[in-house]
Amino acid sequence: MSTEKDNRPDDPQAMFTAIQRRLRRLTVAVTLMALVWAITCATVFGNLVNYFGRDPLMIGSALIGAALLGFGFGWVARRRA
């Protein structure tokens, strides 16, 4: 039976590397969940707009949504560069 204390590295540099790896995985998971959430909301909103307002309103809202997502991705990419 292994305990959590047995899995911890003794070297501080190894601990920081392990924490950094876990944070990177968590960041990827949260980003993917946010992307799935945004796509789901856009799909539901698009269906409602298409039902109530026909095609021009749906195209306009899709363009605004694409512009906002592009701005968000550009902002994240700029911060990482």
Give residue 54's region: left, alpha or beta (phi > 0; psi -120 to 50).
left
pLDDT band at 69 (very low <50, low <70, confident <90, very high): confident
Residue recorded with tokens 């307002």: 53
What does the pLDDT look like over 33-65, one tens digit per residue?
888 888 888 777 777 766 666 667 667 777 888
Please tell me what DSSP assigns to residue 64. Answer: H
Mean pLDDT, rounded, for 28-34: 83
Q: Quote the CA–CA distance of 32 and 1 in Å, as a whole number.
A: 34
On whether the pTM is more than 0.85, the answer is: no
The residue type of 71 is F
Q: What are the C-alpha distances in Å from 61 to residues 43, 48, 50, 52, 78?
A: 11, 11, 10, 13, 25
Share of the chain above pLDDT 90, in %: 0
